[in-house]
């Protein structure tokens, strides 16, 4: 434990943001990094509880050993801190930026509303380790002679690839897009995480022997069975990117889009790529000088809000069918679990007009072009309340109500009838495999990440990538020293 009385003497502090009026002028990250001394003070607040709820099971999905690295940071032992952090998390600079931090919800100090700034310390350890040159390729010293193919280079595929290469296997990652990262690169905007962090990891992994093959849509450009014949095992980490159908009349009007094409386009623009590559519409979708309505209340919706502000939207309204959550949770009823309470994302804080308990009835327009969104209030059971209809002016509307499973063209359509799928309680159709052996219904084919569990979080994708790597290593070699 760092400082015994740290939590009593030091107030919680997290990295501050640039003011909204400044940050909406660019697409770069806008957090102002804390000094080493400030981070060290925050680490000193950790109480090293007898039961560290922060690292599981309700806290960190990869079971980061949070009290241990807080202590190492407090003692200025950055190299040991990154070694410890890497022992559970391949990419802490990703999670340190985009994780919603269930660990902080589970922190004992959260009972007092002032959890340890775990995510801030995690990001600082990773950034400092890069600065000090501690993050370098760690190629395996002994090769196994076994070949593994991974379909998809999102956080699940990247974590699996890194683990398997370090275990001595020859690893090939096949990616449909032009660059690696999956939704980290093409879904999550740069203002939440800049993409050079992915490039640095790709470079590290290439140095560890991983080969990336871009522009290969497996199941379309290359049959999955061919890949299986060429490798000892194949892991499908294809994500869950099919937008959930909204079933709202008027979706065909010009000006109504699913969230993903919009976010993918802007990420490509920032990354200086063609906006029309791989399957999304080529028509530019831009919010400048427009009234924008975003349907949905999650991360994807928030990212549309922040993107629209940066493109110069006049007004952005976000519609959430759920009731407005309470300002504060009943701690004793929910802690150490994730609480439903009013949360305001940095994008929403940039000036979004948020409407709760509102259903979207119809997109309305003139001459085929969107002019507004007809809505109404709903009751606690989401049933429309008669006589509450109203129209919000809109030139552009985005539907961000979730995802219904992997893209239909590719592996799933090619293996139809052989690959077992099921539909979860959120209505997402996923590939079936358990979280011990990650085996699909097809021999030699494994599955991990969103394609197995439905649209989730980066940290869960990393966890599944690590675990499937262990399962494959064990199946190929009879035993594995990779951690689960």
Which stretches of the chain bind ligand SF4, using CB under 6 A? 60, 62, 64, 66, 89, 95, 99, 101-103, 118-119, 122, 459
Q: Which does 101 bind (CB under 5 to 8 A by kind): ligand FAD, ligand SF4, none?
A: ligand SF4
Minimum distance from CB of 73 to ligand FAD (Å)?
23
119 phi/psi in degrees, rounded to 5:
-65, -40
CA–CA distance, 120 with 101 (Å, rounded to integer): 10
Q: Which does 60 bind (CB under 5 to 8 A by kind): ligand SF4, ligand FAD, none?
A: ligand SF4
Q: Which does 217 bind (CB under 5 to 8 A by kind): ligand FAD, ligand SF4, none?
A: ligand FAD
Pair of tokens at residue 5: 């009385």
Minimum distance from CB of 470 to ligand FAD (Å)?
17
Which secondary-structure segment (H or E) carries 214? strand 211-214
3-state secondary structure of 291: strand
Q: Which does 70 bind (CB under 5 to 8 A by kind): ligand FAD, ligand SF4, none?
A: none
Q: Which does 27 bind (CB under 5 to 8 A by kind): ligand SF4, ligand FAD, none?
A: none
State the Cα torsion 164-166-167-169 to the nearest 10°.
60
Minimum distance from CB of 128 to ligand SF4 (Å)?
15
Closest to 286 measured CA to CA, from 309, 302, 252: 309
Say if CB 483 and CB 448 are below 8 A apart: no
CB nearer to ligand SF4: give 118 or 184: 118
Q: Which does 300 bind (CB under 5 to 8 A by kind): ligand FAD, ligand SF4, none?
A: ligand FAD
Beta bridge partners of 254: 369
CB nearer to ligand FAD: give 67 or 219: 219
CA–CA distance, 220 with 257 (Å, rounded to integer): 25
CB nearer to ligand FAD: give 71 or 450: 450
Minimum distance from CB of 239 to ligand FAD (Å)?
2
Q: 366 CB contacts (<8 Å, ≥6 apart)?
A: none
Minimum distance from CB of 383 to ligand FAD (Å)?
29
Q: Where do runs of H (alpha helix) occur along 77-213? A: 78-86, 92-98, 102-106, 118-131, 155-166, 183-186, 196-207
CB nearer to ligand FAD: give 155 or 405: 155
Locus of tokens 């059971």:
381
Q: Applying CB under 6 A, which residues contact ligand FAD?
A: 98-99, 151-157, 174-177, 182-184, 187-188, 192, 216-219, 237-239, 241, 263, 299-300, 303, 407, 410-411, 449-450, 455-459, 461
CA–CA distance, 12 with 43 (Å, rounded to integer): 10
Using alpha carbons only, what angle is made at residue 65 by residues 86 and 186, rounded to the nearest 5 degrees?
A: 50
What's 18's DSSP letter?
P
CB nearer to ligand SF4: give 65 or 302: 65
CA–CA distance, 67 with 117 (Å, rounded to integer): 12
CB nearer to ligand FAD: give 394 or 458: 458
Q: Which does 24 bind (CB under 5 to 8 A by kind): ligand SF4, ligand FAD, none?
A: none
Give the relative orientation of helices 78-86 and 118-131 as an angle to the nearest 10 degrees: 110
CB nearer to ligand SF4: give 89 or 153: 89
CB nearer to ligand FAD: give 15 or 156: 156
Minimum distance from CB of 89 to ligand SF4 (Å)?
6
Q: Which does 102 bind (CB under 5 to 8 A by kind): ligand FAD, ligand SF4, none?
A: ligand SF4
172 phi/psi in degrees, rounded to 5:
-120, 125
Closest to 173 measured CA to CA, from 117, 120, 218: 218
Is residue 164 packed enough to be buried (19+ CB in 10 Å), middle (13-18) or exposed (0-12)?
Answer: buried
Minimum distance from CB of 324 to ligand SF4 (Å)?
26
CA–CA distance, 221 with 327 (Å, rounded to integer): 50
Minimum distance from CB of 88 to ligand SF4 (Å)?
8
CB nearer to ligand FAD: give 72 or 431: 431
CB nearer to ligand FAD: give 106 or 411: 411
Is residue 235 packed enough to be buried (19+ CB in 10 Å), middle (13-18) or exposed (0-12)?
Answer: buried
Minimum distance from CB of 336 to ligand FAD (Å)?
19
Minimum distance from CB of 370 to ligand FAD (Å)?
21
């Amino acid at each position: 434990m760092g400082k015994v009385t740290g939590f009593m003497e030091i107030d919680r502090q997290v990295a501050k943001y640039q003011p909204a009026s400044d940050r909406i002028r660019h697409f770069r990250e806008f957090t102002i990094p804390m000094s080493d001394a400030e981070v060290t003070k925050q680490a000193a607040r950790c109480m090293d509880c007898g039961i560290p709820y922060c690292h599981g099971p309700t806290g960190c999905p990869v079971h980061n050993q949070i009290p241990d690295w807080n202590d190492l940071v407090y003692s200025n032992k950055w190299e040991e801190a990154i070694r410890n952090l890497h022992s559970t998390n391949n990419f802490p600079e990703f999670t340190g930026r985009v994780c919603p931090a269930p660990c902080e919800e589970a922190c004992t100090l959260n009972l007092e509303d002032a959890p340890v700034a775990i995510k801030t310390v995690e990001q600082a350890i990773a950034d400092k380790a890069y600065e000090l040159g501690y993050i370098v390729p760690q190629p395996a010293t002994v090769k196994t002679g076994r070949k593994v193919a991974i379909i998809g280079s999102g956080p699940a595929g990247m974590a699996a690839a890194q683990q398997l290469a370090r275990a001595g296997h020859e690893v090939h990652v096949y990616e449909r897009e032009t660059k690696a990262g999956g939704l980290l690169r093409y879904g999550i905007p740069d203002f939440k995480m800049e993409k050079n962090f992915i490039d640095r990891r790709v470079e590290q992994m290439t140095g560890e022997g991983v080969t990336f093959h871009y522009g290969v849509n497996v199941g379309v450009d290359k049959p999955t069975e061919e890949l299986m014949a060429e490798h000892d095992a194949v892991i499908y980490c294809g994500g869950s990117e099919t937008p959930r159908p909204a079933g709202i009349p008027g979706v065909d009007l010009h000006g109504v889009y699913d969230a993903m094409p919009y976010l993918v386009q802007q990420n490509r623009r920032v990354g200086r790529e063609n906006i029309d590559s791989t399957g999304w519409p080529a028509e530019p979708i831009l919010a400048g000088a427009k009234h924008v309505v975003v349907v949905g209340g999650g991360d994807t919706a928030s990212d549309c809000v922040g993107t629209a502000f940066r493109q110069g939207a006049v007004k952005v309204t976000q519609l959430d069918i759920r009731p407005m959550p309470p300002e504060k949770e009943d701690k004793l009823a929910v802690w150490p679990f994730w609480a439903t309470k009013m949360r305001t994302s940095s994008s929403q804080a940039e000036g979004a007009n948020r409407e709760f308990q509102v259903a979207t009835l119809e997109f309305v327009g003139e001459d085929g072009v969107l002019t507004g969104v007809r809505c109404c209030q709903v009751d606690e059971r989401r049933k429309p309340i008669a006589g509450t209809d109203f129209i919000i002016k809109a030139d552009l509307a985005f539907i961000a109500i979730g995802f219904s499973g992997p893209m239909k063209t590719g592996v799933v359509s090619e293996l139809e009838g052989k690959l077992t799928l099921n539909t979860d309680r959120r209505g997402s159709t996923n590939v079936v495999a358990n979280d011990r052996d990650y085996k699909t219904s097809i021999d030699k084919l494994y599955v991990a990440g969103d394609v197995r569990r439905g649209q989730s979080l980066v940290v869960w994708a990393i966890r599944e990538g690590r675990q499937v790597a262990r399962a494959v290593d064990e199946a190929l070699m009879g035993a594995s020293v990779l951690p689960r």
